[in-house]
Homo-oligomer: A and B are copies of this chain.
Amino acid sequence: MARAATTADAFNAVAEPRRREILDLLAAGERSVGDLVEAMGVVQPLVSKHLRVLREVGLVEVREDGRQRFYRLNGEPLRAIHDWVSKYETTWSKRFDALDDVLAELKEAETGHGDGD
């Protein structure tokens, strides 16, 4: 074992800048591979490979039309990321100081460091 197949979930799919770029491009609507290639300025096989990863995690869907393939976004898999990250929203938003305090207390209780004053 080495990397435990990173190309298995949305977290990994999105970890790649190029892949995020593709999703950003598809956000405006479906595009053909060639269109993406042109927009991204990289060789076609590269785009195809990234698209494959995105396809495997369900982030994009294909529509065949003649010899072209139009990819379109399906953000659903991003939901898991959103949900996970949202849990931490409190840590960067000062508005949640109160909650942060609660978490701190939970930690005290768990580690048993509670120096009951």
Contacts and interface: CB of A to CB of B under 8 A. Distances in A.
Interface band, chain A:
35 or more
Per assembly, the copies of the chain total: 2
B31 A111 contact: yes
A85 B80 CA distance: 10
Contacts of A20: 11, 84
Interface in A43-67: none
A42 interface: no
A76 B4 CA distance: 27
A6 interface: yes
Contact of A85 (B17, B30, B31, B85): B85
Contacts of A107: 28-30
A95 interface: no
Contact of A73 (B79, B89, B91): B91
Interface string A90-110: 111000000000011011101
Nearest to A73: B91
Contacts of A81: 81, 85
